[in-house]
Amino acid sequence: MIEKLVLTNFRKFKEKIFEFDKNIVIFYGHNAQGKSSVLEALYLINTGTSPWASMNEYINVEQNGQAHTRIESIEGDKSYVYFKDINKRIFKIDGKNVKPSSFFEKRSSNIFNPEKIELLMISPSERRSFLDDTILKYDYEYETLLKDFKKILRQRNAYLKKLSKLFYEKGVIAINDPQLNFWSNHFSLTSAYILQNRISLTKELSKNEYEVQYRTGIQFDRRKLTNIEYLVESIETSLEESKKRDIATGYTNVGPHRDDWDISQGKDIRKFGSRGEKRLAIGKLIFQTQEIVFKKTSKYPILLLDDIASELDILNTEKIFERKFLDKQQTFITVIDYNSLPKSLLLDAQLIHLNGS
């Protein structure tokens, strides 16, 4: 449990100390008072990234001329410090410098805000990232797999552009090009592991009231998902079938980078759900990811709910802000007026008023 948060040169805060004594913490106050910035800091010190800013955007230079920011989190008898200036990041546990991998081991956070809901409903790229980010919370080697995949995809696409130029200039289709086959083989292997991870996650996500269906251009029997050799062969077959199109377009047309997923409850929520139904569905999905991460790591991620009440009607607000979900982990909530939240939630929550000071 985070008991204290110290912000230095972060956003509008020159120096701000927050002390927490409850499992549910509610920040309230008018807009532009720093509520979302506190959640951003909590997310940063638990993941190393900002949910909505570039690398240096959150550093406040104007406060005292120092181009750095510092976030400290006190958790029990341990101190975690995240330091960032224009050029570098430093991570410390109990005053000692540590590698990012050691700092973030078993540390994670989930953030849920209106902007994220919109992106998840509109952007296939964001939907893919949602799955990958969830997997990263419990599989620390998955990051290496994603990096390898992106590198291989870049190399394959770069070579496809050369073959595409050859095709349009000389009419030559290099179907059996050795270098293209080399990158295709590496692409198939890394893609197979990504497919395994993503589809397994969507099956776990479908164990609640919503069904999450993974959509891919790779043709294979999903009953054989655990058979990595079969998956690799299926991807190789799909690449072979798409090879002429890949050469013509100069990029890879099938694979994990083109995949997507749908969420349904008797109907496709993304296409046919109301605004409130979409928000409720994504909220329930995020709660389900909390359970999945706990099942695999024995620890719930910190949960951050930013301005969600403003987007929901009374009934859906009560469904999202149920104590039985929020009490499982330390939960931080931002809201303009805390009276918009269910009374049962306020009974044993810590209220912190932010007024810009």
- 124-136 vs 178-205: helix axis angle to the nearest 10? 80
Task: Retrieve residue 227's tokens.
Answer: 């058979």
Complete DSSP assignment for 14-56: EEEEEE--SSEEEEE-STTSSHHHHHHHHHHHHHSS-SS--TT
Q: Please tell me the distance from the alpha carbon of residue 84 to that of residue 147, in angstroms, as a whole number.
A: 23
30 is an annotated ligand-binding site residue: yes
Q: Please tell me the distance from the alpha carbon of residue 152 to that of residue 187, in angstroms, as a whole number.
A: 6
31 is an annotated ligand-binding site residue: yes
356 is an annotated ligand-binding site residue: no
CA distances to 304, 310, 317 from 279, rounded to whole Å, are: 15, 11, 10
With beta carbons less than 8 A apart as the criterion, state whether 265 and 211 touch. yes
Using DSSP, state whether 306 is helix, strand or coil: strand
Length of the chain, please?
357
206 is an annotated ligand-binding site residue: no
264 is an annotated ligand-binding site residue: no
Among 145, 130, 134, 140, residue whose Cα is nearest residue 293:
134
Using DSSP, state whether 220 is helix, strand or coil: coil
CA distances to 40, 68, 316 from 58, rounded to whole Å, are: 9, 9, 32
68 is an annotated ligand-binding site residue: no
Q: Please tell me the distance from the alpha carbon of residue 80 to that of residue 73, in angstroms, as a whole number.
A: 5
Task: Retrieve residue 181's tokens.
Answer: 């086959």
32 is an annotated ligand-binding site residue: yes
97 is an annotated ligand-binding site residue: no
Q: At residue 283, what is the residue type? A: G
Greatest pairwise CA separation for the chain in angstroms: 74
CA distance from start to end of the chain: 25
Instruction: State the number of CA atoms in the 13 A half-sphere of 135 facing the CB.
Output: 23
Which residue positions form the known binding site? 29-36
Which residue positions form the known binding site for ATP? 29-36
